[in-house]
Each structure stands twice: as structure tokens, then as C-alpha cells.
Amino acid sequence: MGLTSDENKGLYSYSDRYSEVVYRQLITLPSEAYATSNEDSVHETDGQQVPLMAIYTRSLTAVGYTYCGYVSDIYQFIGNDVLNQQIRNAIQEVGLPIITENTNMDFLLTQMRNEIVIQSSQNCANVGDILPVMIVNNSYNGRRAATVAFGISVQHENDRLVFAFNLGEMKQIHIANSNTQMSSVITSYIQVFSNDITDMITSSFQSQLTQDQFLSTLDVIENIGKRRREEISKFLAEMNPSEEGEDVALPSAWQMFLAIVRYSSFEPNLNMKRLLENAAESVLVIPTRMQEVLNRLQSS
């Protein structure tokens, strides 16, 4: 699985440009570690291998390792940059330049999200240039499967915001296909992006949320965190100001989407970021043809 092994130590390791991870076989301690002089110092379970591997990580500049939990010894490992390079190769096979990559790691370096922005922009009158993005997710603790999601990048004020669709997200079993098959998937997304992304944004811009839709979306965000609801409500007020004494106008679907993504783009917790993106996706008006293509890509 791309791990360097030292079986005499029960040690398996991997390192790339982002971090280093080490897996160690777990073994029960001998009874002597706990026994007093009046107790039996041997038990038949002493020194037994446990079907679990301890996880240790460190950044490339750190001296020591950090313990990060454990995984089953049947865990299917894939290195962060092995996965990223597979997607880069597929994009290059399509013939599209990569503009930039933005990589986020969680605090323990066990989860990664890499946003690969592709040079294939569409212009929308209400938004400006929109770029397609491939979002690569991976984990070293088994809590999230390796996935590739399709997304968009939009400019808002001075910030470049990135959003990943839950619709169409591909799991590791499908990512393991050849570069040519992955290139075909990426080509399909670029085609539907080119054909339908401006329609999605225009329709979402023109669709005003009902009171129930507005409040239920904010309730979902509050379940993720009350502070997040307050910040997103503040963004909405900035985008849709009202005169003193007037009722606050309900936002369009696009304004609600943009407020959530503006917040989620800078959310350091990768699990919370994904939940916020799901809330943002729920208000979008996604063309039927685009939904059909993304659903098909999910099982390619």
C-alpha cells in the first residue's frame, strides 16, 4: 500500500510533502508491568498482538511524533500525495492546466483536503469568472474514506472561495481506476461545468428563499454551531442591507449559498467544513442535467 515496512519492529511508515505517518503494531503488556511480589506475574494474554495499529504523525519540521489513535490492521492505506498525484495525472491527461492547489490538514495531520483549481473558467454576469475544482480528501485514521469531489471556485470581494459538491463525490473504490478512466470522469465534469454552471448560478440568483427555507437552513447551521449561524447571518446582512425600520429582505438562494461558502472556505475543522458545504448545496438550484451527470460520475 505504499508503506515502508520494518516488520521486526511492527512499524510501517509513509512520508510526503505534507507530513509523515507511522503505524505500529499494538501488543499487550506482560503481567510483570503490573504485578506486585505477591501476585502471579504471568497470564496467557501477555504479549499478544492486537489486530490494531497505533497511529503517529509529525510535520516535516517537527522533532517528535504525536499519537493520534489507532486503526484496524485491515485498514486500506493510501498516501496523501499518492492520491493527489493520481488526480493531477488525470487532469494533465485531459490537457487542462492546474492553476493552483490549496492543501488543508487537520490539527493531528490525520485528515487532508486538497483543492486543485483547473484552468477552464466560465463567466457569469452576476459573479464573474467561475473555475472548476477537484477536491481530494483523505484520512490516515479510517474516519473518512479517500474521496474526490467536484467543485467550483468563485471570487468574492478579495477572496477566492471554494465549494465542493456532495453530489457526485467519488469514493476510493472508484478512484482506484486507471488514469484514463479518471480523465474521462474529469472530462465529463468539465463538460457539464461548461454547459450548466452559469445556469445554476443564474437560477439560484433569481430564486428567493421562502421564510421556511431561510429559517430551516439557518437551523441546520446552528446545529453545527451557534457562532457559525451568527457569522453567516452577519454576512447575509452585509450582502442584503435594509434601511432602518424596514423588514430584512429574504436572501436569494445564491446569496445564502455564498454566505455559507464564504464562511466555510476559512473553516479550519475539515469535518465542519464539509457539513457547511452540504448546507450550502441544499439551497442551490441545480439543473436537472447537471444532477444526472454528477450522479452518474459518482458510480463511474
Domain boundaries, the chain: 4-72, 80-200, 211-283
**231-248 tens-digit pLDDT:** 998 888 888 776 555 556
Mean pLDDT of 17-28: 94
* AA letter at 254: W
| pTM (two decimals) | 0.89
Q: SS in 3 state form for 101-124?
A: EEEEECCCCCEEEEEEEECCCEEE
Specify the residue for cell string 499487550: 28
Number of C-alpha atoms within 13 angstroms, CB side, residue 110? Answer: 20
Cβ neighbors of 34 (< 8 A, separation 6 or more) are: none
For 249-300, the pLDDT digits (tens) are 789 999 999 999 999 999 999 999 999 999 999 999 999 999 999 988 887 6
Residue 46's SS3 state is coil
Distance CA 116, CA 190 (A): 13
Amino acid at 279: A
| 138/249: higher pLDDT | 138
CA 25 and chain centroid, separation: 29
